[in-house]
Amino acid sequence: AILPLAMLMCMPALSPAQTPAPASPATTANTVPLWPNGAPGAFGGAPEDQPTLTIYLPASNPTQTGVVVAPGGGYLHLSMTKEGSDIAEWLNQHGIAAFVLKYRLGPKYHNPIEIGDAQRALRTVRSQAASFGIASNHLGIWGFSAGGHLAATAGTKFDAGNPASADPIEQQSSRPDFMILAYPVITMKAPYAHVGSVHGLLGTDPSPALVDSMSAELNVTPQTPPTFLYTTTDDKTVPVMNSIMFFEALSREKVPVEMHIFEHGSHGSGLGGTSPSLTQWPPLLHTWMQVNGWAQ
């Protein structure tokens, strides 16, 4: 079953029993290159030229679920702890495998390199699903800020894979089975675009056609995966209208979606930090995942 559409502007305080416990250490943390022989389009062999996945496997995974995690950073840097390893440990705590993506960044790299890295991550995990203890149809993507844009792009621009490819990874679908978008960048269009993310991904003078192509709210179809959105009304970095426009687009196409908008909260809150209100959103997410069979 899918939860009904919901938009919450404010939530009551959680009881102590609902407060998430501290994340436990990951059972496994192993970093691997997405392309062992070098990434296509790479300008060199430095760490910033080689996208990677860091694999965190829980002690048990009863729902056989995996999540690719895309940290944010305006397509110019990556928040690899607050929006990377911390998220992986939260997922592991809930019996879910996590795969933190280090993708290539501007201004050195522009579209379509970043989406290519995200698609390769999804294909890589799916191709080795059995060895990770997950089901190939229980693979989601969770993105924050600009990583939320990358995740939303992965959910609106995907393919079934190339069965003729000699690379078994490239034979796999790049479609995530669900999306989790935290204070995401969605649009590349004024007036609600995050200008830094636009420049990081598309350069300083992208064509109108490219801007439209990379504005996720314009590319939703009935095949876009079920989505969970979290943001705050007074986010001063990425306007709340990014999430609202995506919610509306998903709703029009009858894609299952749940959104939680909190009244106050700064951008980049991760799992909520020390905010009494924002720490409520991870339990809401966990409930959504439980109802959909992606968590226990």
pLDDT in tens, 202-250: 999 999 999 999 999 999 999 999 999 999 999 999 999 999 999 999 9
pLDDT in tens, 113-170: 999 999 999 999 999 999 999 999 999 999 999 999 999 999 999 999 999 999 999 9
**Is a pLDDT exceeding 70 seen at residue 19?**
no
**Is a pLDDT exceeding 90 seen at residue 68?**
yes
Burial of 6 from C-beta contacts in 10 A (0-12 / 13-18 / 19+): exposed
- Cα 64 to chain centroid, rounded: 18
Q: Do the beta carbons of residue 13 and residue 276 sit within 8 Å?
A: yes
Beta-strand pair 66-70/52-57: unpaired
Res 38: pLDDT: 94
pLDDT in tens, 82-96: 999 999 999 999 999
Percent of the chain past pLDDT 90, that is, above it, reads 90
Find, among 189, 186, 239, the residue nearest to 217 by Cα: 186
Cα 144 to Cα 233: distance, rounded to the nearest angstrom: 16
Whether this prediction's pTM lies above 0.85 is answered by: yes
